[in-house]
Structure 1
Amino acid sequence: MSSLSTKIQDVFNEPACEENRGKDAKARKKGCSKPLTPGAAAGGCAFDGAKIVLQPITDVAHLIHAPLACEGNSWDNRGAASYGPTLWRTSFTTDLTELDVVMGHGERKLFKAIREIKEAYGPPAIFVYPTCVTALIGDDIEAVCKRAAEKFGLPVVPVNAPGFVGSKNLGNKLAGEALLKHVIGTVEPDDAGPYDINILGEFNLSGEFWLVKPLLDRLGIRVRACIPGDARYLDIASAHRARAAMMVCSTALINLARKMEQRWDIPFFEGSFYGITDTSEALRQISQLLVKKGADPEILGRTEALIAEEEAIAWKKLAAYRPRLEGKRVLLNTGGVKSWSVVHALKEIGIEIVGTSVKKSTVEDKERIKQILKDDNHIFEQMAARELYAMLSECKADIMLSGGRTQFIALKAKTPWLDINQERQHPYAGYDGMVELVRQIDLAIHNPIWRQVREPAPWDCQPTVREELPSTKSETATLHVVQEFAGTTADDFGEC
């Protein structure tokens, strides 16, 4: 556990984080995330964060060394999309029992599980995740993985991020440390070129990166490794030969980007593929970094030509939506990179932002939002459910964009809602993704169901009858009712 403590302190002392550099030594040791409350989910533990970052590596077997309950539903991990290998969708666990814990059978059971996976599936690598239970009982995961790698002739990577050490975000960074220590740089590619890049912190949610990769392909830029979205083990192992890198989600893997720059001289920048302007700027910065690293400067001209062509197509498609959406008010309850990238994207077509959360956003993210909105009053750190409901029920927003956790607040307030987080069903990245995002907002706002649900219920609309109906339930009374209503018109009923 001493080595794990050292890793955690190293992650907390991240020099690439501007906010972290501004703290004193004592505050820096505490990290940025709030401590976990025992018995509370707290948005995910460190184990959950590590699994989120590494599971989209599709051809790797992910083995959870823990009781059965620690393994979740691998098939539904954050909505990351992939094609080809499906091994990452298979759940592997050592399924420790109370007897294994008491008798000390954990390490032996782990070694046996690694052997069975190797013989049955033959993966290029196996990632092993300890959890709270196996970390507390002292199983030496790294020793077992090292012995198994020597015995079976394949990489067995220990991912030392048990849940109790901290938050999900800390687990993201510990996963990056595992890649740096055991994976990246272990394979030398025979096809390295001057146009190779890495994309870091891109999860390919709903296949979003597949909307961006064709743009890079047209420029002759090869993505050597997209970490972790739809990645392959050998691609990540040879990622140290890329010439440049783009950081999509800095809160997750900023430590990975910085250390790859230090070790292998791979410069990086933080950008976004959300929105037309940000997508174009990301393509420009990628090309500029490649030129600085020795690529032919002619790529800059080709990049501008591609941007001009794609922007013209996208703006033409968006022109049909502008009259329907211009002036509409959006409440954005998300965080991280989406807190500023989506804001910028929506303002490009005239949508008004009435509020955006900055939960999980970095200092740089918050500064970008201030520059875009020109008003701090629309920025909130965290809004309680009651405040969200009050804002929506008072019609201060025409639609809310958020994750699935707050969708029922919008539905209760009878307000349109669109999923913008990892569970979303539609890709919103790149030029085509921006058009799709606007199309989905338009469909949600103008769905006729909202006008219907806001009307009073039929049983709240009482008819005005000229004579009091008989209270008896006889056939005579029934006949009287039929006769009474047979001659009525719309004017005889009260208004709703």
Structure 2
Amino acid sequence: MSLLRAKIQDVFNEPACEKNRGKDAKARKEGCSKPLTPGAAAGGCAFDGAKIVLQPITDVAHLIHAPLACEGNSWDNRGAASSGPTLWRTSFTTDLTELDVVMGQGERKLFKAIREIKEAYGPPAIFVYPTCVTALIGDDIEAVCKRAAEKFGLPVVPVNAPGFVGSKNLGNKLAGEALLEHVIGTVEPDDAGPYDINILGEFNLSGEFWLVKPLLDRLGIRVRACIPGDARYFDIACAHRARAAMMVCSTALINLARKMEQRWDIPFFEGSFYGITDTSEALRQISQLLVKKGADPEILGRTEALIAEEEAIAWKKLAAYRPRLEGKRVLLNTGGVKSWSVVHALMEIGIEIVGTSVKKSTVEDKERIKQILKDDNHIFEQMAARELYAMLSECKADIMLSGGRTQFIALKAKTPWLDINQERQHPYAGYDGMVELVRQIDLAIHNPIWRQVREPAPWDCQPAVREELPSTKSETATLHVVQEFAGTTADDFGE
């Protein structure tokens, strides 16, 4: 636990974090997140954050050393996609019971589970995650993993991020520390070249990185490792031989990017593949970093030619949507890199941003938003559900883009909603992804169902009641007939 405590303090003292640099020494040691109470719901714990970062490594076996519920609650919580191996989709857990805890059988059961996975699946590596229970009872995960690696001849990586140590974001960074300590730099590639790059903090949600990789392939740029989206263990182990890196989500893996630059002289920048302008700028910066590291300067010209070609195609496709969406108002309730990159992307086609959240956004993210919107009134740290509902029900926005947890607020307010977070079904990165995002917004806003659900319910519409007497001849004649036969019976008519 003392080693884990030292790692946490190191993460809290991250010098590459602009917000952290502005604190005094005492405030820096307290970290960026409030400590969690074991067993309390806090929107994701450190274990959950570590699992999010590492599980998209698709050919690795991910073993949870904990009671069954820890794995059951954390499995498959991201829409990451794989182009090959499916082992990461298999759930492995030691399934500790109360008897195992009382009798001290945890370490033995973990070693046995590692052996069974190795024999049954033969993965290139096994990642082992302790949780609150196994960390509190003192199971020595590092010792078991080290012994298993020697015995079975494959890397067994301890990921020390039990849930009670902090938030999901802290778990992201502890996962990066595990890669630095046990994986990156352990294999020397025989094909390193001047156009190799790393992409950090890209999760390949709904396969969206596959919309960007062909652009890099056309420029002759090889992605040595995409961490973690659609990654392979061998690629990450060789990631230290890349020439440059792009950081997509700095809140998750800024420590990994900074330490790789420090250890292996891999310069990095923070960019985004959301939106036409940001995608083009990201390609430019990648090429410029490679040239600074020794690549042929001719790549700069080829990059500009590719950008001009792809932008022309994308803008031509978007022209059909501009008349239908220009002036539409969007409320963006997300965070991180999407808090500014998606804002910029939507404003490019004339959509108005009435608000964007900056939860989980860095200081740099917030500064970018201010430069884009030029108005602090549209920026909010966190909006309560009641306030979101009031804003939508008063028709201050035509659509809300957010994650799944707030979709029912929009639906209750009878407002179109589109998933922009990890559960989404459509890729939105790159030039083609921007076109797809605009197409989905257009489909959501102009879906005829919204006009129907906003109409008053039938039981709320009372029909008008006529109180005047009949006035037409037919109605008068009918009235006389009724009066004439009033009081008669069937016997009066005979057979």
- Matched with 1:420 is 420
Residue 487 (structure 1) shift = 26
| Runs of 4+ residues deviating >6 angstroms | 468-495
SS at match of 1:225: strand
* Aligned counterparts of 1:94 and 1:460: Cα–Cα separation in 2: 57
**Deviation by residue 1:254-301 (Cα, 9 ceiling, x = unmatched):** 000000000000000000000000000000000000000000000000
Pair 1:472–1:456, CA change in 2 (3 A): farther
Deviation, structure 1 residue 482: 16
8 A contact 2:35–2:165 mirrored in 1: no
Give distance in 2, aligned partners of 1:280 and 1:88.
33
Distance 2:288 2:494 in 1: 70
Equivalent residue for 2:75? 75
Task: Note closer, same or farther for the CA distance 1:154–1:490 as it changes in structure 2 (3 Å cut).
Answer: farther
- Other structure's SS at 1:418 match: strand
Q: Deviations over 1:201-253 (max 9, x none)?
A: 00000101000000000000000100000000000000000000000000000
Q: 1:480 to 1:152 in 2, by over 3 A?
A: farther
Q: In structure 2, how many angstroms separate the alpha carbons of the residues matched to 1:261 and 1:491?
A: 109
Sort the Cα spacing of 1:338 and 1:486 in 2 relative to 1 into closer, same or farther, 3 A. Answer: farther
**CA offset at residue 30 of structure 1?**
1.4
Indicate how the Cα distance of structure 1 residues 484 and 396 shifts in structure 2: closer, same or farther if over 3 A, else same: farther
On the 8 A contact 1:461/1:494 being kept in 2, the answer is: no
Which secondary structure state, in structure 1, belongs to the residue aligned with residue 354 of structure 2?
Answer: strand
Tell me the C-alpha RMSD between the 2 structures: 6.5
Equivalents in 2 of 1:362, 1:323: separation in Å?
A: 34
Q: Distance in 1 between matches of 2:494 and 2:422?
A: 48
Helix, strand or coil: the match of 1:226?
A: strand
Q: Could you report, residue by residue, the CA deviation over 1:147-206 in whole angstroms, capped at 9, with x for unpaired residues?
A: 000000000000000000000000000000000000000000011000000000000001
The alpha-carbon distance between structure 1 residues 451 and 482, as it changes in their structure 2 partners (threshold 3 A), is: farther
2:48·2:74 contact (CA, 8 Å) conserved in 1? no
Matches of 1:435 and 1:217, distance apart in 2: 21
Q: Measure the CA separation in 1 of the matches of 2:367 and 2:493.
A: 58
- Return closer, same or farther for 1:318/1:107 CA change in 2, 3 Å cut-off: same
Q: Distance in 2 between matches of 1:85 and 1:203?
A: 16
Q: Once the two structures are superposed, what CA deviation does each residue of 1:74-103 show, in whole Å capped at 9, x if it has no partner? A: 763311111211110001111111111111
Contact 2:195 2:222 in 1 (8 A): yes
What CA distance in whole angstroms lies between the structure 2 residues aligned with 1:494 and 1:56? 91
Distance 1:493 1:293 in 2: 112
How much has 1:461 moved relative to structure 2? Answer: 1.7
- Once residues 486 and 428 of structure 1 are traced to their aligned partners in structure 2, the CA distance between those partners, rounded to angstroms, is 76
Please tell me whether the aligned partners of residues 38 and 132 of structure 2 are also in contact (alpha carbons under 8 angstroms): no
User: Any conservation in 1 of the 2:38–2:163 contact (CA below 8 Å)?
Assistant: no
Query: Quick one: distance in 2 between partners of 1:48 and 1:470?
Result: 75
CA contact (8 A) 2:208 2:433 kept: yes
- Tell me whether 387-396 or 35-44 shows the greater mean CA deviation: 35-44
| Distance change in 2, residues 1:78/1:249 (3 Å) | same
Correspondence 1:17 to 2:17: yes
Map 1:445-460 onto structure 2 (within 5 A). Answer: 445-460=445-460
**1:466 Cα deviation from its structure 2 partner:** 2.6
Tell whether the 8 Å contact from 2:35 to 2:164 is kept in structure 1 after alignment: no
Cα pair distance change 1:481/1:299, threshold 3 Å: farther
| Aligned 8 A contact 1:392 1:413 in 2 | yes
Cα contact 2:66–2:133 (8 A) shared by 1: yes
Deviations 1:324-377 (A, max 9, x none): 101110000000000000000000000000000000000000000000000000
Q: Give me the whole-angstrom Cα distance separating, in 2, the residues matched to 1:494 and 1:285.
A: 104
Which whole-Å CA distance do the structure 1 matches of 2:316 and 2:299 have between them? 26
TM-score by length of 2: 0.94
Q: 1:444 to 1:148 in 2, by over 3 A?
A: same
| CA distance 1:462–1:9, shift in 2 (3 Å) | same
Q: Distance in 2 between matches of 1:485 and 1:80?
A: 80
CA distance in 1, matches of 2:147, 2:430: 45
Q: CA deviation at 1:473?
A: 29
Matches within 5 A, 1:65-464: 65-72=65-72, 76-464=76-464
- The 3-state SS of whatever aligns with 2:227 is strand
TM-score when scaled to structure 1?
A: 0.94
- In the alignment, structure 1 segments of 5+ residues that lack a partner are none
Question: Where in structure 2 are the equivalents of 1:18-37 lying within 5 Å?
Answer: 18-37=18-37
User: 1:464 touches 1:493 (CA, 8 Å); kept in 2?
Assistant: no
Shift, 1:480, TM fit: 16
Provide, for residues 50-79 of structure 1, a one-character-per-residue CA deviation record: whole Å limited to 9, x for no partner.
000000000000000011111036763311
Q: CA deviation at 1:458?
A: 1.4
Aligned to 1:466: 466
Of residues 223-232 and 482-491 in structure 1, the stretch that sits farther from structure 2 once superposed is: 482-491
**For residues 456 and 145 of structure 1, do their structure 2 counterparts lie closer, same or farther at Cα, with a shift above 3 Å needed?**
same
Report the Cα distance in structure 1 between the residues aligned to 2:244 and 2:23, rounded to whole angstroms: 30
Secondary structure of 2:331 counterpart: strand
Distance in structure 2 (CA, Å) of the matches to 1:259 and 1:79 = 28
Q: Would the alpha carbon gap of residues 422 and 467 (structure 1) be closer, same or farther in structure 2, given more than 3 Å must change?
A: same
Q: CA deviation at 1:494?
A: 46
By how many angstroms is 1:11 displaced?
Answer: 0.2
Which whole-Å CA distance do the structure 1 matches of 2:237 and 2:145 have between them?
18
> CA 1:455 to 1:111, structure 2 compared with 1: closer, same or farther past 3 Å?
same
Q: Deviations over 1:457-484 (max 9, x none)?
A: 1122222243699999999999999999
> How many residues in Structure 1 have an aligned counterpart in Structure 2?
495
Q: CA deviation at 1:29?
A: 1.1
- Deviation at residue 493 of structure 1 after TM alignment: 39
Tell me, what secondary structure is at the counterpart of 1:395?
Answer: coil
With over 3 angstroms needed to count, the CA separation of the structure-2 counterparts of 1:104 and 1:441, relative to structure 1, is same
Deviation, 1:36, is 2.1
Q: Distance in 1 between matches of 2:75 and 2:248?
A: 24
Q: Which has the larger radius of gyration?
A: 2
Matched-pair contact (CA < 8 Å) for 1:331–1:355: yes
Deviation at 1:6, TM superposition (A): 0.2
Q: Say if 1:471 and 1:477, in contact at 8 Å, map to a contact too.
A: no
Change (3 A) 1:314 1:108: same
In structure 2, the CA distance between the partners of 1:469 and 1:365, relative to structure 1 (3 Å rule), is farther
Deviates more, 1:236-245 or 1:38-47: 38-47
Distance 1:40 1:376 in 2: 33
Q: CA deviation at 1:41?
A: 1.9
1:35 is displaced (CA, Å) by: 2.7
Q: CA deviation at 1:437?
A: 0.4
**Preserved contact between residue 399 and residue 416 of structure 1 (Cα < 8 Å):** yes
Q: Tell me, which stretches of 5 or more residues in structure 2 are unaligned?
A: none
Instruction: Work out whether residues 200 and 253 of structure 1, in 8 Å CA contact, stay in contact via their aligned partners in 2.
Output: yes
SS at match of 1:76: coil
CA–CA distance in structure 2, aligned partners of residues 213 and 29 of structure 1: 39
Judged with a 3 Å threshold, the aligned counterparts in structure 2 of structure 1 residues 465 and 184 are, in CA distance, closer, same or farther, namely same
